[in-house]
Amino acid sequence: MPLPPLRIGRYEIKYPIIQGGMGVGVSWENLAGNVSKEGGLGVVSSVGTGYRHPNYVKLKDGRPIGSKYIHSKEALQRIIRDAKEIAGGENAVIGVNILYAITDFGRVVRDSVEAGANIIIVGAGLPLTLPKYAPEEHLALVPIVSSARALRVICKHWKKKYNRLPDAVVVEGPKSGGHQGIPYEDCFKPEFQLENLVPEVIKERDKWGDFPVIAAGGIWDKKDIEFYLNLGAAGVQMGTRFVGTYECDASDEFKKVIINAKKEDIILLKSPVGYPARGIVTQLIKDIEEGKAPEVKCVSNCVVPCNHGEEAKKVGFCIADRLGDAYLGRRETGLFFSGSNGYRIKRLVHVKDLMRELVEGIPSGQDLPQE
């Protein structure tokens, strides 16, 4: 079946495919710009932007200092503008992914709006205050949830306090890459799997309005997209497959790690953010288990729940430094996130060809072994 467009607020996306925001430095201007150019919604990650433009920020031992520089306003604004340029100019539609848990959440929302972001997608917590920071009517506000209950809490609060509802909601299941919104044990329970969450979230959405529900986590091909559209979703958000593209902003080392990963290498890890995160077993994971990971220094003060490195010390690693190292291509000390399907990526392809596969079903060859 031909895939229908996806309407989010006042924006019409040609194909119902959102490229999920991926930090640190996995989805910046090149990936997001190219996805929007090819008819999907490209989403820039707003975390750790000081790593992208170190000349704009103050560093200590190569790390951006404090929230002001790790989530750098100047770097983020440059990334958003460059993404728009790649996508076709000022009128191109670009989303920004912002974690509710970061220090300076409100400031980063304002930075994004000022730079011309159109769609603000927020995960890692219930974004109860988002409308306060993004009241402009042209903006589309999109929370990411892991349950119908979370959507209910958001709608109730936004309606009462701001007389606003989400312009769309992303429902993310536990096969997704990066941080999960539910405890470790729940990630294995049938009721939390995406195919069971989507109908629940749609039921909840129906009580509030008709904004689109977007499914995320473990979606691989056109058949999967059609499955979720048939369940009543209006679109999908995909992360992992976009890591396996030439245009992805991650380091070559990151792409090699995912290409070489085996199915059993992709696991749920403990994270200083509080909830588990899905990533790839590398030397770092073994070092963490043996208490040999690089020392936690908390130069960047990146997320609130970590409490200036206290949680990092408990789980044995600093999330900002380790994701920063993955971006810098440091294989030994980097932390490499992936969805549970990451092992299926066998070679890099262009975004254009991946989008063609997802939309038209013409294979891109991403899952064929390297010659």
Site of interaction with ligand FMN (CB under 6 A): 20-23, 26, 45, 47, 97, 99, 123, 144, 172, 175-178, 216-219, 237-240, 243, 337-339, 341
Closer to ligand FMN by Cβ: residue 290 or 337: 337
Tokens found for residue 193: 């799997």
For the CB of residue 237, give the shortest distance to ligand FMN in the complex, in Å. 5
For the CB of residue 18, give the shortest distance to ligand FMN in the complex, in Å. 8
For the chain, first and last CA: distance in Å? 32
The C-alpha angle with vertex 31 and arms to 113 and 128, in degrees rounded to 5, equals: 35
- Provide the CA 107 distance to its chain's centre, in angstroms: 19
For the CB of residue 89, give the shortest distance to ligand FMN in the complex, in Å. 25
Q: What is the DSSP string of 202-271?
A: HHHHHHH----EEEESS--SHHHHHHHHHHT-SEEEE-HHHHTBTT--S-HHHHHHHHH--GGGEEEE--
H or E segment to which residue 330 belongs: none
Closer to ligand FMN by Cβ: residue 256 or 290: 256
Beta bridge partners of 95: 43, 119
Reduced 3-state DSSP string for 3-64: CCCEEECCEEECCCEEECCCCCCCCCHHHHHHHHHCCCEEEEECCCHHHCCHHHCCEECCEE
For the CB of residue 95, give the shortest distance to ligand FMN in the complex, in Å. 11
Distances (CA, A) of 252 to 26, 67, 120, 278: 11, 27, 28, 20
Closer to ligand FMN by Cβ: residue 47 or 298: 47
Q: How far apart are CA 41 and CA 94, in angstroms?
A: 7
Closer to ligand FMN by Cβ: residue 26 or 94: 26
Closer to ligand FMN by Cβ: residue 288 or 326: 326
Tokens found for residue 335: 């932390």
Closer to ligand FMN by Cβ: residue 16 or 371: 16
CB distance 275 to 174 below 8 Å: no
Closer to ligand FMN by Cβ: residue 258 or 312: 258
For the CB of residue 250, give the shortest distance to ligand FMN in the complex, in Å. 7
For the CB of residue 361, give the shortest distance to ligand FMN in the complex, in Å. 18
Closer to ligand FMN by Cβ: residue 66 or 177: 177
Beta bridge partners of 245: 349
Tokens found for residue 60: 């200590």
For the CB of residue 134, give the shortest distance to ligand FMN in the complex, in Å. 16
For the CB of residue 371, give the shortest distance to ligand FMN in the complex, in Å. 26
